[in-house]
Amino acid sequence: MAVKTARKIGPVVLLGPPGAGKGTQAKRIVEHYGIPQISTGDLLRDHVRRGTPLGLEAKSIMARGELVPDELMYGIVADRLHEPDCRNGYVLDGFPRTAAQAGWLDAFLEQEIFENSEKCPPVVIQLLVDYTQLLQRLTGRRSCPTCGRLYNVHSQPPRFDELCDLDGSKLVIRNDDRQEVISERLSAYENMTKPVAEYYRAKGRLVPANADRTPEEITAELFGVIDGHAAVHAASEMAKPE
């Protein structure tokens, strides 16, 4: 898959429940366009590890069993978005999770002018999957405790029932993939992120994508959406008076 690095893509936000394929598609977008994937979880751990002022503050908050407040996360995210590798765009992983965070991101992108880079609003894609299909994907997952290989008894089963193809180990179901846990995860996702989708829908910027298809079909659609978004933005920038 050819990498494109010369074009301004802008921020990419993927919304979708657990099992929708966000991780797979984010990786393909990163490889195709040569832009970084920015995980708020990874950023937080990095700041804590390096002992930065933001990291030390976050560490003390987490040590008390409290959630890291938005204001602190905004500083961590802003710090990362100023890095040179974000100039042509980036995929946001785990952010924004709330409508307030989405509003902050819009304000940040509107106010910030990066060196050698014009402003570009995020392209927001919502991966839509039928609830029954999601349950099948998640409850069907099995993993090998020895080599870590993943299977799905519905879509990617092992050659022999419940046994790893590579080493013959008995496959296991992770706790996160048990139906009662999955139902809680999907409910929590719905309650938390529905306002984010509504925020972008109200602004006319939410692009729905059917994720009940093969990963390749989904990827082709996402690339088309991103390319179209980038082309429209480039045209609007060229039309502005100097």
Spatial CA neighbour of 29 closest among 10, 55, 48: 10
Average pLDDT score over residue span 228-240: 71
Distance, CA of 149 to CA of 223 (rounded, Å): 28
Average pLDDT score over residue span 63-84: 90
| Identity at 222, one-letter amino acid code | L
pLDDT attached to residue 110:
85
* Residue numbers annotated as active site: 22, 97, 141, 174, 185
pLDDT > 90 in the chain, percent: 53
pLDDT attached to residue 183:
83
- Helix then strand then coil, in percent of the chain rounded to 5, is 50, 15, 35
State pLDDT tens for residues 22-61.
Answer: 888 999 999 999 999 998 888 999 999 999 999 999 999 9
Residue 180 confidence class, pLDDT cut points 50, 70, 90? confident
Domains of the chain, first to last: 10-36+83-236 (3.40.50.300)
pLDDT attached to residue 209:
96
> Which of the two residues, 161 and 180, has the higher pLDDT score?
161
Distance, CA of 114 to CA of 171 (rounded, Å): 49
Distance, CA of 242 to CA of 234 (rounded, Å): 15
